[in-house]
Amino acid sequence: YCRHHVEKYHMWMNDKSLQELTASEELSLKEEYEMQKSWQTDEDKLTFIAISGNSIPTTINEELLRMIGDINLFFIFSPDVAEINIMVAELKYRRGGYGSEMLKLIINYAVNYLNISKFSAKIANQNNASMNFFKKNNFLLESVSDVFQETNFELSAKTIIKCNLQEVKYPFASED
């Protein structure tokens, strides 16, 4: 999540339905830039911007045009447990397998490179689409909180087969 992603991300997050689905609050553009900076420096979280297509973008403009969402890990429970959030913001990419692919990539990265052993997904109780998504991707119901109006799903890394991921150098890494 780089500085050049912020304006498009901010546009997504001004959508009231996305705010509700992601349990997010609207931020000013200035606050969004501050948040982006914290994503790059904080050690307790990790985020990736998802892009469409089967190739690496050759320009920042191409990358911005191909942005479809993001996926996040939060390391708040213990060093080997991660809370996972996923958002496919662009409507035309929902229900097309992109979310599942994003999920597989981040889980394999986290298991292979970060030694994560368990993943947790907290979902608003009214977000049936997300609950069905995580169930479809082998997450198991762990708990339901009426107080917080959220449902927690978990996935143990023991059920995941490790795979070798091809490392790709991000072409725009020199920018914040």
User: Model confidence over 14-49: pLDDT tens digits?
Assistant: 888 877 777 778 788 898 888 888 777 888 888 888
Q: What is the mean pLDDT of residues 70-97?
A: 88
Backbone φ and ψ of 78, nearest 5° = -160, 170
Band of pLDDT at residue 77, cut at 50, 70 and 90: confident
DSSP E strands: which ranges in 11-158?
45-51, 67-78, 81-88, 118-124, 140-145, 150-156
Residues 83/74, Cβ–Cβ less than 8 Å:
yes
pTM: 0.79
Residues 70/49, Cβ–Cβ less than 8 Å:
yes
User: Model confidence over 133-155: pLDDT tens digits?
Assistant: 999 888 999 999 999 889 999 99
Rounded to 5°, the CA angle 121-2-79 comes to: 40
